[in-house]
Structure 1
């Protein structure tokens, strides 16, 4: 009797557990799938066929062509500068240096010259003096004394006449001019070049040249075409 009750209790507990498990499974199934509404028994159920609206075809949009990346424009080459063919001369200044030396200085000078002597031996004076002296001696004494006085007077007169003529010849002069020259130290200024100021391509400059330029100087590519003084 007791065994029967025990078996009945075990079976009853197993059935209860099984019922609880089935109820839990159904409850979980109802939560996952919603129940469809139940139509009234008296109304026929029309199954609504919802036609799916045709999906409009996507509008054909033209695909834009790929745009090339903008390339920087090449830089323009600078224009070659234009140069004038001539430089305009603004001013010219001579360059000098001091030179030491000597120079010959001449001047006219008045001089006294002796007249040319015609009678170098003064014969005329001697003869005239002798005659005069002899005449004077002849007036002295008499006889042989007179002769001696005459000879002595002639000798003395000749000598005196000679000396008188000599003095007269020495005093026979005339004035004349003579060109006399002599060397003297001197300094001078020598031109060794020219400092030239010019204008070329709107710019001014200076250059030393060995000759005096005109109003303009030939040029090429901004450079003068003349040799410069060293």
Structure 2
């Protein structure tokens, strides 16, 4: 019985001491016991590109031809009408004054004074009247908004191919990994976060 107990203890102790050695397989570790980190060599990196476009507004200005009407004016050169009208009115007023030969003199004096006043008034007034005008071509600056679409190529990630101990692996990453990639080695080989 003592021998049987001794043999059983020896077997249990031997099994306990040999368990880590059994778990080790070549350069890999069984994930039930240990995870380790190492470096893999990056062999290819391809960017993942998304095409996008966005509106770009800009103001476009140009000179627009515009025709404007400019009226023409002419000064009255004939002051005869005003002079005659003044003489008639002055003569009529002069005729109301005096009797006999005095009336004739007052009429003549009224006509002369009225003609002078009418002529003078027509010069001061500067009578102008519109004649035919002309159209003149000018330019006005006008602006409008235009929308153009500008395309962009945006890199949204990277397809990465890496090699670890002779085996090739693929993954997608949000950044460029460089020449080597830190990997987690357990049941498989995956990029370490």
With normalisation by structure 2, the TM-score equals 0.45
With normalisation by structure 1, the TM-score equals 0.39
Report the structure, 1 or 2, having the larger strand content: 2
